[in-house]
Chain A
Amino acid sequence: MSRAADERLLAAKRGVWRPQPLIAQVHWRWLLNVALLLYIVLVWFSVDVNWARVSQGLDRGLAFLASFLRPDFVSRGGEIATGLMESLTMTVTATVVGIVLAIPVGLGAARNISPQPVYWICRAVIAVSRTFQEIIIAILFVTMFGFGPLAGVLTLAFASIGFIAKLLAEDIEDSRREPLEAIRATGAGWWQWVHYAVQPQVMPRFIGLALYRLDINFRESAVIGIVGAGGIGATLNTSINRYDYDTSAAVLLLIIAIVLASEYLSGRVRRWVA
C-alpha cells in the first residue's frame, strides 16, 4: 500500500492531486465493480418491461399528474369524509393501545433493568412485530376479526408495540447509570426504581417517539384499508382502480396535508418537552 501512497505524494509534488480512494485495496475495488456490473446485467435480464404497455400508460400517468392541479374533493366528499374520520380515529385508538402495551415490553427488553428470560421473551415479541409489514398482519387480523376498523386498530397497535418497545428499550439501555444506582441505594423497590430513576431520563424521547408513531400509524392507516381493515385506504384504492384520478388526488393531498400538520405539531411539542 505504501507504494500507492508514494505515487500519490509524487504526483502531488508535480501538482497533480487526486483524492484518497474510498477502498484502499485495488483488488477489492475491482471485485466490487465487477460484482456491481454482474448484478446490473442479472437484474436487466430478470426484469422484462413491456415497453408498449408503458408508453400506453404514460398518458394515464400524465392524466394523474394533471389531476393534482384539479383535485375533486366534492363529488365523493361523503366517502372521503367517512374514510378520513375512520382513519383518524383508528390512528388515535391504535396509538394509545400500542403505547400502553409497548411500555411493559420495552421495559422487559432493556437488558439493564430486566432478568434474562424476560429479556429474551420481550425481544422475540419485538422481532415478530417488526418483521411483518402492517399489510400482512392486517390480512391475518381481517380473517380473524372480520372486516372493519377493529382489525385495523389491532394491526396498527401490534405494529406500534414492536416499534416503540424497541426504541424505548434502546433508550433505557443508554440511560445514565448514576441515577439508577442512586435510587437503588435509597432502598427503592423495582417499581419505584423505574419510576424515579428510569422514567425521568427517557420521558422526553418517549413522548417524541409516541408522536412519531402517531404519524406513522396515520400513514399506514391509509394502506391497510386496501385489504379491508377500514380507513381511507379503501376509498383511495377504489378511486384509483376506477381511474377516478381527481378523487385520488384529493385523498392524497389530504393525507399529505394531515401528515404535514402532525409533523409540525409534533415538532412543536418535542421542542416544548425537551
Chain B
Amino acid sequence: MPLQRIDNELVWRQRSPVQQRLIWLGWFLGVCLFLFCAKVVSDNTIWEFMTDAHVQAASLIARMVPPDWSITASLLLPLWDTLNIATVGTALGVVIAFPLSFLAAANTSPHPLLRALALMVIVSSRSINALIWAILLVTIVGPGLLAGMIAIALRSIGFLGKLLYEAIEEVDQEPVEAIRATGAGRLQELAWGVLPQIVPAFAGTTVYRWDINIRESTVLGLVGAGGIGLQMNAAINNLAWGQVATVFVLIFATVIFSEWVSARIRHAVI
C-alpha cells in the first residue's frame, strides 16, 4: 500500500506501515545480536593488551623494516615446494572431483543415493580448511610435502566439485538429446554431449582454484606440511621479524604473479 492518507492528503511511501515496522524490528534484532556477540568477545578479551597495542605495532613494524634480504636465496627452494604443493594438490583434487561432480549433478547422477553421498563428500571437503586437513595429515603421513599436497587436494575436491556439478546441471539438454538420438550409450552421451559444454567452466574453475591454492599452501608449513610456511614459522619462532618480512614480500609477489597468470588463462579460456 504505497499511498497513505496523512492529514487528508495522499502521500507516497515506499512501504506500508506494517512492512516498515517489520524491517525496523529486523534491524533491532540484528543490532541486539551483534551487541551480544561483541560483548561475549569483549568478555573473553584481555583489554590490558590493547592499551599498548600501538606500541607493539610500531615496534613490530620497526623490526620488520628493512626486510632481511640475505636469506632470499635459501627461500627459493621452499617457494618452489610451495608451488608444487599447490599444483600437484590441485591436480589430485581435479582427478577426484571430476567423476564426483558427475555423480553429484542431478541430471547425470546414476542413483539418488550415490548423489546424496557425493554431495556429502563435497560439503565435508568444503567445510574444512586446508590447514585442518594438513594438521590431520601431518599426524597421519608425517611432516612434509606429501601431507601438504593431500591437504590441498582434499580441500579442493569440494570447491571444484561444487562448481563443476552446478555447471553440469546447467548444460543445454538439446545437444545431449541429439547425441542420445544417434544411439549413443550412457558414457558416450556424457563424453560428447555434456563434456564439451563444461570444458571452459572446468578449465576456468581449475585455474581459479590453483590460484587460491597457492595462497593457501604458503601457510601449510606452519603445521609442518612443507613449503615456505616452514621458514616463516621458524623465523617467527626466532622472533627474526626481518626474515618474516622477506617471506611476506616473496609470498606477496608469488600470489600477485599467480593471480595474473590465472586471470590471463581464464580470460583466454572463457
Contacts and interface: CB of A to CB of B under 8 A. Distances in A.
Interface of A: 19, 39, 43, 46-50, 53-54, 57-58, 60-61, 64, 85-86, 88-90, 92-93, 96, 127, 131-133, 135-136, 139-140, 143-150, 153, 219-220, 222-223, 226-227, 230, 233, 236-237, 240-241, 243, 248, 252, 255-256, 259-260, 263
B123 interface: yes
Contact of A256 (B44, B123, B236): B123
Nearest to B222: A135
Contacts of A237: 135
A121 to B, nearest CB: 18
Contacts of B80: 46
Contacts of B37: 88-90, 92-93
A93 B41 contact: yes
B84 A43 contact: yes
Given A49-B146, A57-B139, A259-B127, A143 B132 contact: no
A61 B140 contact: yes
Interface residues of B, number: 55
Contacts of A54: 141-142, 146
A153 B45 CA distance: 11
A149 B252 CA distance: 26
B181 interface: no
Contact of B251 (A58, A131, A144): A131
A256 B222 contact: no
A240 B136 contact: yes
A44 B36 CA distance: 53
Counting from the closest, the 7 A-B pairs by CB-CB distance are A146-B49, A89-B37, A53-B142, A259-B127, A150-B45, A92-B37, A89-B40
A28 to B, nearest CB: 13
A132 B256 CA distance: 11
A85 to B, nearest CB: 7
Contact of B142 (A57, A132, A220, A241): A57
A255 B222 contact: no
B216 A133 contact: yes
A219 B127 contact: yes
B33 A92 contact: yes
Contacts of A143: 56, 60
Interface of B: 33-34, 36-38, 40-42, 44-46, 48-50, 53, 56-57, 60, 80-81, 84, 87-88, 123-124, 126-129, 131-132, 135-136, 139-142, 144-146, 149, 192, 215-216, 218-219, 222-223, 232, 236, 248, 251-252, 255-256
A183 to B, nearest CB: 15
A148 B46 contact: yes
A73 B214 CA distance: 35
Contacts of A61: 140-141
19 contacts: A47-B149, A49-B144, A54-B142, A57-B139, A85-B40, A89-B40, A93-B37, A132-B252, A140-B60, A145-B49, A146-B48, A149-B41, A149-B45, A150-B42, A153-B41, A226-B135, A243-B139, A252-B128, A259-B127
Contacts of A127: 256
B50 A145 contact: yes
Given A47-B84, A86-B40, A256-B127, A58 B219 contact: no
Chain A binding site: helix, strand, loop or mixed by DSSP?
helix
Contacts of B81: 46
Contact of A255 (B88, B127, B135): B127
B215 A133 contact: yes
A169 B83 CA distance: 30
Contacts of A145: 49-50, 53, 56
A236 B144 contact: no
A93 B38 CA distance: 6
A95 B111 CA distance: 39
Given A46-B84, A255-B127, A132 B46 contact: no
A220 B129 contact: yes
Contacts of A131: 215, 251-252, 255-256
Contacts of B57: 144
Contact of B140 (A50, A64, A222): A64
Nearest to A150: B45
B132 A223 contact: yes
Nearest to A88: B37
B34 A93 contact: yes
A90 B41 contact: yes
